[in-house]
Amino acid sequence: MLSRAALALAAAVALAAVPAAARPDPAVKVTRAVTYATAGGETLQLDVATPATVGPHPAVVLFHGGAWRFGTRAQLSWVIEALAAKGYVAASASYRLAPKHLLPDQLHDVRSAVRFVRANAKTYGADPDKFAVGGFSAGAHLAMLAAFDPPAGQPLGARCVVDFFGPTDLTLYSKDPDLEDAFMVPFLGKACKTDPEVYRRASPVAFAAKGVPPVLLVHGTADLIVPIVHSEKLHEKLVAAGAEAELVRVPGNGHGPWRAEQAAAGMTATVRFLDRHLKGMR
């Protein structure tokens, strides 16, 4: 069982899950601190990286990690710039954090960020009909849940989802009281034994079905914060349901920090996946 100190370290590791990188292309334009919504008394913003070439380009909206309690959109600055250099309009969006805000507030923010990028597609040279969502750790969890379980009559419309080591089955954390108290209860508002249905409905794996968008799962085999069983379990259920899913295992890698070559390998797999589903490239 993890101590409180270990839990604090785990949160810090989640924030540093991928390394910063040098700007990949000096011609890439980055527009920062764009307000996309106001909710719960908070101003929600995103950063947008756009390619140097003329659009419309496919778009990707990403969400940061940090155990739903920490983190900022700036963590993904290098990611959106790298994607813009590959011909994508890429946004990194903030969202309301626990424990001040409980789920589903974060899901409302994810949907609002996507709607904003699509509504302003012409401004950023994006194609509103060719976009993906994704994220890292907690942000990946939110992206998957938003794409897999939209409100009735309000599909997110993402053509594919990119998941870097996101939790997919939150019930697994109920097995460790320290983990549940530190991360799940501040996010979901309850313990699993009190209301297991809340945990189930907050788990992307519960919505694995043939109709969900194609999913890329990238996960380190030595991840102790979000063990790779999360990605393996979701991948297995998606494939069994007839959905398209790809699992990329990163041997020996944990939740962070990732070395530059490992991050580059993950980015290569991401671009290849996005090209296939958003650009029609095989």
Residue-wise pLDDT tens digits, 222-268 = 999 999 999 999 999 999 999 999 999 999 889 877 777 888 889 99
Tell me the pLDDT tens digit for each residue of 175-200. Answer: 899 889 999 999 999 999 999 999 99
Alpha helices in the chain (DSSP H): 4-15, 77-85, 105-119, 121-124, 138-148, 177-179, 185-188, 196-201, 229-241, 260-278
Beta bridge partners of 50: 29
CB 36 within 8 A of CB 277: no
Sheet strands side by side (includes 215-220): 29-39, 42-50, 89-93, 57-63, 126-136, 160-164, 215-220, 245-250
Return the domain boundaries, the chain.
4-277
Tokens for 58?
């496919």
What are the φ/ψ torsions at residue 239 (nearest 5 degrees)? -65, -45
Q: What is the CATH number of domain 4-277?
A: 3.40.50.1820
Tokens for 195?
């209301």
Mean predicted confidence (pLDDT) in 71-96? 96
